[in-house]
Amino acid sequence: MRRDTHLQHLGEEDHHLGAVTPPIFQTSLFVQPDFDTFRGKLDDPTKSRERYVYSRVGNPNLTMVEKKLAMLEHTEAALIFASGMAAITAAILHCARSGDHIVCVDTAYGPTREFLTNYLPSLNITHTFVVGNDPQEIIDACQSNTKLIYLESPSSVLFRVQDFEAITTHAKASGIKTITDNSNATPLFQQPHLMGVDIIVHSATKYLCGHSDVVAGVICSTAETCRDIELREGQWFGGRLAPFDAWLMLRGLRTLRLRVEEAQRMGKLLFDYLSTKTVFDQILYTGDPNHPQADLIAKQQTGHTSLITVIPKVQTEEATKNFLEALNIFQMGVSWGGYESLAVPIHGKPMDWPAEKWAIRFYAGLEDIEDLTEDIEQAIHHLA
């Protein structure tokens, strides 16, 4: 069966009492039929993945979602967690131990950077940040004790892209694991595992869930890696997703293609509108035909979502504040991927910028595009 059919049915072959929608297995534990099963002595060891003991480790609702996610990312298995950061930290700590070194792109998600900068040093795990546009820069940053290269393509806010094949070729030859955050492109527009990436992570709160009512995270990798994480970081840190949230995530996945295709349409229309405005110094969007990494983007991605960042020519906090507060439909919020359009202020300095800058990241939701552009139009004089 093909992808869209799998999204509706994979993992749901058992119709409990004929229910077309699976029930919520709202239980903390599962009892076993006999002593040998309780002790894990199974006639068929391959069925151990589907043997449920305690919902902190596994639950049928989680399994249904994980089968669909592994199918989407072309991996053998997947795990879902209670947040994107729960998945990200579990994946990183699975790959790195005391004395190890990590190379990470500078424009990765803020809390990921903070985890590397403010927490991992206490475990004697060091890191090096790189711009990441040039794969040779990443290769050159690797040390004898480098155990992980952490990527995010497209990266947060600035949507920079890393060359998966060039980076993973070096990493595999050097015994270095690779992780990438695929939250932006989604597995519909990009499958990093097919380009050599070992572990894919997502903030499933975004497009995968899609209704702004679930916080969740994802790890996709080999069956062996997922099994190890499930029994170690997943169980010990206790960050796995609850059954009801997994059931809601299943609902979100059913409409994923429709929503992501609409996001692509909306993103293109919003970009076309913003490109006519002279108040912006730069417009950052992976679908921009003049994007400096357009060739690599075309090689790795089959589409683009509706995240766009603008850098106003007027670089003041007051102008940014007044513009954002003048918006009526775009709401100020840090997430994206739901039904509502968002605009968020960003102030910072990537390592290759000479100074800090103000930027505004837009996310186009499911409202009418003319209403969204009119909303920006009535507020844009604050940036002039």
The CATH code of the domain that includes 292 is: 3.90.1150.10
Query: Which uninterrupted H or E stretch holds 103?
Result: strand 101-105
CB 90 within 8 A of CB 63: no
Q: Which domain holds residue 148?
A: 3-254
Examine the domain organization and report whether 181 and 267 are in the same domain.
no
Cβ proximity of 91 and 220 under 8 Å? no
Question: Residues, the chain, total?
Answer: 384
Please indicate, yes or no, whether residues 290 and 244 belong to a single structural domain of this protein: no
Same domain, yes or no, for 143 and 201?
yes
Total domains, the chain: 2
> 219 and 306 share a domain?
no
- Compute the C-alpha angle 375/279/369, nearest 5°: 30
Same domain, 183 and 263: no
**Residue 176 CA to its chain's centroid (Å):** 21
For the beta carbon of residue 19, count every other beta carbon within 10 angstroms.
10
**Same domain, yes or no: 310 and 322:** yes
Pairing outcome for strands 342-348 and 357-363: antiparallel
**Cis amide bond preceding 354, omega within 30:** no
Pick the last residue of a domain from 206, 232, 254: 254
- pLDDT (tens, 9 = 90+) of the chain, 384 residues, equals 888 888 888 888 887 878 888 999 999 999 988 888 887 765 554 554 567 888 888 899 999 999 999 999 999 999 999 999 999 999 999 999 999 999 999 999 999 999 999 999 999 999 999 999 999 999 999 999 999 999 999 999 999 999 999 999 999 999 999 999 999 999 999 999 999 999 999 999 999 999 999 999 999 999 999 999 999 999 999 999 999 999 999 999 999 999 999 999 999 999 999 999 999 999 999 999 999 999 999 999 999 999 999 999 999 999 999 999 999 999 999 999 999 999 999 999 999 999 999 999 999 999 999 999 999 999 999 998
pLDDT at position 35 is 85
Q: Let me know whether 216 and 141 are in one domain.
A: yes
pLDDT of residue 11: 82
**What's the whole-model pTM score?**
0.94
Domain boundary among 192, 226, 254: 254
